[in-house]
Structure formats: structure tokens, C-alpha cells
Chain A
Amino acid sequence: MSDLTLTKKDFTSDQEVRWCPGCGDYSILSSMQAFLPELGIPRENIVFISGIGCSSRFPYYLNTFGMHSVHGRAPAIASGLAIARPDLTVFVITGDGDALSIGGNHLIHALRRNVELKILLFNNRIYGLTKGQYSPTSEQGKITKSSPLGSLDTPFNPVSLAIGAEASFVARTVDSDRKHLTETLRAATAHKGSALIEIYQNCPIFNDGAFDIVKDADTKEASLLQMIDGQPIKSATHGVVRNGNSLEVVELSSVDESQLIVHDSHNPDPSYAFSLSRLSGSTLSHVPVGVFRDVERAGYGSMVHEQLAEIIGSQGKGDLKKLLHGGDTWEVH
């Protein structure tokens, strides 16, 4: 693979990018284009499949194979492709409406099966392409065009949902932090099965500033709880400690460093990652970022092909003539 010397430019398609000025999608696209050469995978073996929504225009801007599909259904289409073609690297690009509302079913089933997909969920907590209705991640009480008196819906926490769906890899990052985003992409692509990355993404038109607390220089250091394997989980001011069966965020000054939880994304117990996912409330005053969970589990596609190899190995390749003549037959002369 090392003889492939592709650059960011090689992964940039000739299409004019048409997101709104200032959209967080630009920085995610740019990070992705810059990251892909690092994989050492030929362009023709990479496929981006998206659903519908602003984020789902993403495949058009990458010079790989790509499909802009049906609202919510990208994980289903991508599953078929990834299972049939284990030689490919398949990304799913989706948003909070696409993945968690209309496509919720496909997302959880792709994750539980552990299909070899890298799913990037752009969470801007709003419907952008339909011009500003509340989404399944919008905070309760949100005033939007379709909720002038405030939304009554309790939002999903995408990370909690993914862990509940038996995901083997779940991470969170932020659109504007290119370094962290790239590290997270690196970890996700190194993972064998399904990987879900929630990317906090700003929509400057319909939900501007939704993530200011984790982006602004003066607040982000305190808000972002960094999850790094082997290191205590903490922000500049706060850390995570055990409280009974659960975890809680406390001021660093109130505890000894040794009491802080040392992160282990490979912890087989999903309740550990789940507890971490519950630390971010809807105000985002404390948001764990990094890899919540990264455990080894056989990928679905590889199991499918192992099963085929096993049966063909033990019984031989099917013989069509024998098949057609199966069961009770008789001759007419």
C-alpha cells in the first residue's frame, strides 16, 4: 500500500461544493480529504454512501465511488455493498435526522450486526435541508418552525443509542477540531467492524452556535472531557470519578488526581462506555470526546464469507445439475 502516493487533491472531485457559507460540513470534508491519502487505499476501493440531508451531499465532493441514496437508508444499502464486497472500504455519511429519525432502524441493526461500515453522523441538532425543524437530537423546548411553542420531544443521545445497539466502536468529535477529527477517523478506520462517529457540526443558518460551548476558546477547555486511553478523563477544570454504580463530573480541585477514572476504550463492559455517554447533558457543559468504546468483535461481512468458504470447503461448490435433480425424480420415456 505504501507505494500509493495520493494527496488531498486526488480525493477532491470536480464538483462545486454547495453548502451554506460557514457550514461545519466544509471542515469535515476538508479533514476527510486530507485524511484519506493516509489510509493507503486506492480511490476506487473507497465508497461513500449517504442518505438525504445537507450532510448527505458529502459523497459528491470526494473523488471516490459514491452514492447519494434514500433518506435514512444509507446503512442498509452500504450493508449490502460491504457484505458483497469485503475488498472495499465503505463509509456512511448521515445526519441526526437521517440516522436517528427516519433511518433509526437501519442504524441500530447495522451496528448490532457489526457490518464493516464507518458511519459518520453529522449532528447539528436541527433539520437543515428542510429549513429548520427540530430534530431527534434537538433539546427539549427548542423553538423552531415546527415547534413554535417549544419541542416536547426528549432528544436521543446518539452515543448512548449506539452503545445500546451493541456497537463495537463509538466515538465523538467536533467539526472544527481538525486534529481531533482526524485522530478519530484514524481510530475508526483501524477498527474492524462497524464504527460510529458522532461529529458535532454547526449549522450557521438554522441552529448557529449550538456547539459554541465546545468550540469557543474561552469555554471549550473546561467543557471537553478528553478520553484518551490510559489517561484520566478530564477537562481543564473538571474530571470524571466513580459515584456508586455510575460516573460523575467533579471539579478537579475537589478530588485527588488518583481518584479520576483512567480511560479504557477497550473495556468489554458496555455499561462503562454507556456511563460516559450519559455525562453530557443537553447544555453540553461537559462533553466527553474521543473514543468511548472500541472492542473487538467479528465483522459481519467477514463472518458471511467465512460461512460460505466453510460450506463450500466441506461440501464442494454447488452442482447445478444435481440441484435441479434434487428430491424425488422419475423418468418418462
Chain B
Amino acid sequence: MSKPIVTLNSVVIRFAGDSGDGMQLTGDRFTMDTASLGNDLSTLPNYPAEIRAPQGTLLGVSSFQLHFADHHVRSPGDAPDVLVAMNPAALKANIKDMPRGSTIIVDKDEFTSRNLTKVGYDANPLEDGSLDSYKVHAVALTSMTVGALSELSLSRKEAERSKNMFALGILTWMFHRPTEATQKFLEAKFAKKPEILKANLLAYQSGWNYGETTEDFSTSYEIAPSKMQAGTYRNISGNTALALGLIAASEKSDLQLFLGSYPITPASDILHELSKQKKFNIITFQAEDEIAAVGAALGASYGGALGITTTSGPGIALKSEMIGLGVMLELPLIIVDVQRGGPSTGLPTKTEQSDLLQVMYGRNGESPAVVLAASTPSDCFEMAFEAVRIATTYRVPVFLLSDGYIANGSEPWRIPEVDSLPAISVEFAKTQENFQPYLRDPKTLARPWAIPGTPGIEHRIGGLEKADKTGGISYDPMNHDFMVRTRAAKIEGIEVPDLIVDDPSGDAQVLFLGWGSTYGPIATAVEGLRANGQKIAQAHLRYINPFPKNLGEVLNKYPKVLTPEMNLGQLAMLLRSKYMKDIVGYNMVRGLPFSTAELIEAAMGVLDV
């Protein structure tokens, strides 16, 4: 007899296990199979900084959350509907996020007294009634996996490694996901290890069969495809989108991409992605340190390449002096900061928005630079392209802020048509008489990009203050004042799009104003508030220095502006000082994105007053 199928609108699943259990891979596969069904989705990986923290401990729990639906999804979801916990540590670390009535699938083989003691369970939660208000499926994942693979010549330990595929098989059955893509993926991944391939395929199939046959799982679920704009889609993480945006801009500007980078979490994947794409004539230079990474990028840029460096907060701190030279030399330079928890080493694998003031002001002297911020994983593509456009047009250092949440999180991305991407036109200074390296374009205030190899324009530049026009060394007091103001005016005058405000009723009294990765949670909260009849406007800043020209007007229109930030109020400080506007902050620095519920509550607090 076939089991009943229930149709749902949206589901949040969290896979949790030891950092060696393959939870990120399991989550990725479920995501890809879900994307291919046409559900909209958003993901949130969450893992410890330690590569292999002690097994079975709370410290070592790694998780991957996926929110998918038949409608537009903007955040990875607050509370999971389903938790897959591969051991007691994974259960203990995640149970507080599980609403009563939700589903919990555990590997009961791992609930041994030794493992329970390790994480401080006095009694077995599967037996003491503490999980009575949840739908618990205690599945013998390990022993069933080992049993399923008994025909293969694998050690018990090797066989156990496939238990994540058994779990994935159950979930795949439960939510009617297709299996072909994951089978293909495994075939490619283990092409050179036929025995391991067999084990994974067998475990995956056994998990699926188990779901289909066991009475423990009585129901399966369907989620209809989401109505999305027509086009070709792929699922993409922010780091990948950012790398692709840089490559697209390099192609469209016809500049050789030169990446100087030093490995750092959570930015290294951009270095990896660009290193894979050398057939685009990309040079990736893994430097000896953060300073050399940006130095080499600046040197390459001086030579006419598209100089880029990628890092996170601690790397920015090290690069500051070199970025100051970039400000003085007025050369294109792109600095990507994938923010993480700070200060110091902080929370390397967690997200935060606390580098905003560092990139704005963390250099000696009056040292203005452009600051852009991507708002979603796919927006990283567009903002990377923008960063290149601005840096090459105005010959300035441009910071592009991302963060751990959107860097590792993913969502479906409608792939743009290559022809629809604008060309970036770049002109180098040509051979000429009496060349003046600091003679500016009257409109952009950019100085010429004058690269070595061009006869007749040999000149010397450096970090010492420049004389206007000639670029010679100048200690003249009025010249210094003029140049300081000119560098500031150049940034201030950069053309950026106006801020778009979403205010359907047209008479909202409260503006939800965010920047960076808070876009998803804010947009979801705004939807919820409006569904409850609240009038609220929403706007999101992607250009922070310079701000959009209409920002002051927008701020003045709304009596109250609520700005959630994963810092202690850095954007709020910028807005208050520039526009004399009071900003209501909602600030949490937990290393995690905001939940929709807390943002709704924060908004209600402002709306009620």
C-alpha cells in the first residue's frame, strides 16, 4: 500500500553532525537536487573553525541549513522543520532551535552511554521522554549502513563513512527529490575509487528504500516548484558568484585579472575559484602575507592589469598601509573583504558586519576609498562587476564587503546573458609631450592610468604628497589641503544608482534600512509584517561610500528608520553623522544571521510607539 503524500509550501531542514561526518556535502547535494526541482531556496552552512575538532563533542558540530519553498525564499529560515542529528552532540547543539512538533531524525547507534556522557547528557534523550513533543525517528543509521555494505570488501570504519548518504537517501525519499544528479555526482567524485563509489551509491539507495518501506516513516512530502522569473538558473554561493563577477568584469574590460591573495577564512574560496579559471588568462599569486598580496595587486594594477586582493577583516588590518598608497597613487584596486566575527581572530567561520568602519576609516590620514556591499549570494556577482567598473573608471581603491553568511550561503541565481553585461571601457594614457600624471579628467576627477611601456610619459609617483597636475613631490601647505579635498571630492562625486525604496502603501512611517547580508532576513520580516497589515517601507544600501545621492531625502521622509546590523551600530553611526538623522538600531553580534522573528519583533517595537 502506498504511503500518503502531503503537500507543503515551505520546509527548513538542518543536517547536523560531527565535522568529519560530511554534513556540508550532504546539505549541498540535497540543495542541488532541490534546486533542480524548481523550488526557490536559501542555505546556511555553519561549521567550527577547527578542521577536525574532537569527535562527538559540541565544539565539533557542523551543520547545514536549507530553506526551500514553492514561493520566493529570502533567508535560510529561523526554525528547522526537520533536524537530522548524526550523534548526541548534534542533537544537543541544535535542539534549542527546534520548535515543538518538528521532526527529528537521529542515528540511534551513536547514542551510546559514552557518547552521551561526552556531551553531558545524564540520561538518553531518546528514552527519558524529553523529546516527547517532537516527532522523533530513531534510525539505526550506522548499523544499517554497515549492513547494507556487508558484501563489499570494506572495513567497518570505511563502511560507516557512507552513513551520511544513507541519511540523504531517507530525506530524498521523504521530500520526493530526484536521485539521478546525486548518483552522477558520486560517480564523478569517486571515479577513481570504485569500491567507495559502490558503497556510497548503495548506502544512498538503501536509505531511500528504508524510507519507502519502513513503517517508521508514514508520510512523505511534496513542495511545488516556485514561480520564478523565466531564465536559466544555477544554485550559487556568494564566494563563487563574486569570483565569476570579477572574471566577467575582466572579460568585459579586456584587462588581465591579477589576484594577489593570502589564504584566510572565509575568503579563500574566491582564491580557489579564480585559480581554477586560468584559461581566462587570470594570474593568481598566493603571496607570502596579506601585505604582499595587496602590494602585488597594486603593482600589477600600476602595470595595467586588473589588480584585486581578497581577504577578511584581519587581512584588511594588515593591508591598510598599502591601500593608503593606492589612495595616494590613484590607481584602480579592488579589495574584497569577506567579513567574519572579530576583533582579532574572533570567530573565523562565523558571520559579522563589523568591518564597515575599518574599511571606511582604518587608514592613516584623510584616506577616502569606495565601499560597496553585496546583499545576497547572487548579488556578489553584480557588486563585483560594479567594483571593477568604479575602480577602473575613477582610478581608486574600491572595497567590496561580503560576509561569511552570503559567502558560504547559496541561492538560485538567474544567469545573466553575457551580452547584457555592459562593457567597461578603459583607456590608458598615450604617448604625449609634457605629460602630467595628476592632470585630472574634469568630470570624474580621475588621473590618467599611465602604464610603463608607453614612450614619452615616463614619470615617478609615490606615497609622498603630490603637486596638483604634475605629480611632483610637494610640501606646499595649500597644495596638500587642495589634494586632500580633491581626493575626497573624487570619491564623493562617483555616480551610483539612487536608493530604491519599497513602500507599497506610500505612507509608511517606519523605514527598514539595511546593508549587506541582512537583506534576506529583513525582506522576509517585511513580508511577514505586511501580511499582518503593518505599513512598513524597506530599502537596502549596496553603495556605502559614496552613499546614493537621494539617501538624505529618503531618510527625511520617514519619521523612524530601523537599521539592523550584525555589529554595534556602524552604519547607524555613519548615517547619524552625515544626515543628522536619528537611527533606531537593532544590533546583535552572535556570529549568525538575524532571524525573521526577532526582526519582526524589533519592527513591532518601533511601529507600536
A residues whose Cβ falls under 8 Å from a Cβ of B:
13, 15, 42-47, 49, 52, 59-60, 62-71, 73, 76-85, 87-88, 105-106, 109, 304, 307-308, 311-312, 315-318, 320-321, 323-333
Q: Which residue from B251, B297, B304, B463 sits with its C-beta under 8 Å from A68?
A: B463
Check B292–A105 contact: CB distance below 8 A: yes
13 pairs of residues in contact across A and B, judged by CB atoms under 8 Å: A42-B455, A44-B453, A64-B458, A67-B460, A70-B321, A77-B296, A84-B256, A84-B299, A85-B453, A318-B277, A327-B235, A329-B232, A332-B38
Given known contacts A68-B461, A323-B244, A317 and B300 CB-to-CB distance under 8 angstroms: no
Please, how many angstroms separate the alpha-carbon atoms of A105 and B35 in the complex? 47
Please, how many angstroms separate the alpha-carbon atoms of A76 and B304 in the complex? 16
Check A324–B418 contact: CB distance below 8 A: yes
Please, how many angstroms separate the alpha-carbon atoms of A63 and B299 in the complex? 19
Check B299–A330 contact: CB distance below 8 A: no
Interface centre among B229, B287, B295, B461 (most CB of A within 10 A): B295
Q: Does B493 contact A (CB under 8 A)?
A: no
Smallest Cβ-Cβ distance to B464: which chain A residue:
A68
Q: Which residue from B32, B325, B456, B462 sits with its C-beta under 8 Å from A44?
A: B456
B303-325 toward A: CB 8 Å interface, digit per residue (1/0)?
A: 11101000000000000011001
Given known contacts A79-B292, A105-B289, A330-B38, A315 and B279 CB-to-CB distance under 8 angstroms: yes
Check A324–B248 contact: CB distance below 8 A: yes
Closest chain-A Cβ to B472's Cβ sits at a distance in Å of 8
Cβ-closest 3 pairs across A and B: A68-B462, A80-B299, A80-B296
Closest chain-A Cβ to B568's Cβ sits at a distance in Å of 31
Q: Does B288 contact A (CB under 8 A)?
A: yes
Given known contacts A47-B452, A304-B283, A332-B231, A59 and B260 CB-to-CB distance under 8 angstroms: no
Q: Does B54 contact A (CB under 8 A)?
A: no
Chain A's interface: helix, strand, loop or mixed, by majority? mixed
Please, how many angstroms separate the alpha-carbon atoms of A13 and B303 in the complex? 21
B residues whose Cβ falls under 8 Å from a Cβ of A:
32, 35-36, 38, 181, 228-235, 244, 247-248, 251, 256, 258, 260, 277-281, 283, 285, 287-289, 291-292, 295-305, 307, 321-322, 325, 329, 414-416, 418, 452-464, 472-473
Given known contacts A42-B455, A329-B234, A332-B230, A69 and B462 CB-to-CB distance under 8 angstroms: yes
| Chain B residues, Cβ within 8 Å of A64 | 458
Given known contacts A59-B460, A68-B463, A308-B278, A83 and B228 CB-to-CB distance under 8 angstroms: no
Please, how many angstroms separate the alpha-carbon atoms of A83 and B235 in the complex? 35
Check B299–A76 contact: CB distance below 8 A: yes
Q: Which residue from B228, B229, B461 sits with its C-beta under 8 Å from A67?
A: B461
Please, how many angstroms separate the alpha-carbon atoms of A316 and B277 in the complex? 12
Given known contacts A65-B458, A318-B277, A73 and B291 CB-to-CB distance under 8 angstroms: yes
| Chain B residues, Cβ within 8 Å of A320 | 247-248, 251, 280, 418
Please, how many angstroms separate the alpha-carbon atoms of A60 and B463 in the complex? 12
Check B32–A70 contact: CB distance below 8 A: no
Check B460–A66 contact: CB distance below 8 A: yes
Q: Which residue from B230, B231, B280, B295 sits with its C-beta under 8 Å from A80?
A: B295
Given known contacts A43-B458, A81-B302, A105-B292, A327 and B234 CB-to-CB distance under 8 angstroms: yes
Q: A76-B292, A83-B283 are in contact. List 13 more A-B contacts (CB 8 A).
A: A44-B453, A70-B325, A71-B321, A80-B298, A81-B302, A84-B305, A85-B452, A317-B280, A318-B247, A318-B279, A320-B248, A328-B32, A331-B233
| Chain A residues, Cβ within 8 Å of B299 | 49, 76-82, 84
Please, how many angstroms separate the alpha-carbon atoms of A304 and B340 in the complex? 32
| Chain B residues, Cβ within 8 Å of A316 | 279
Check A44–B233 contact: CB distance below 8 A: no
Closest chain-A Cβ to B278's Cβ sits at a distance in Å of 5
Check A324–B244 contact: CB distance below 8 A: yes
Interface centre among B248, B303, B472 (most CB of A within 10 A): B303
Check A77–B295 contact: CB distance below 8 A: yes
Closest chain-B Cβ to A321's Cβ sits at a distance in Å of 5
Q: Which residue from B36, B244, B256 sits with its C-beta under 8 Å from A330?
A: B36
Check A84–B303 contact: CB distance below 8 A: yes
Please, how many angstroms separate the alpha-carbon atoms of A71 and B463 in the complex? 10
Smallest Cβ-Cβ distance to A11: which chain B residue:
B458
| Chain A residues, Cβ within 8 Å of B307 | 80
| Chain A residues, Cβ within 8 Å of B289 | 105
Given known contacts A65-B452, A68-B463, A332-B231, A83 and B296 CB-to-CB distance under 8 angstroms: yes
Please, how many angstroms separate the alpha-carbon atoms of A70 and B321 in the complex? 7
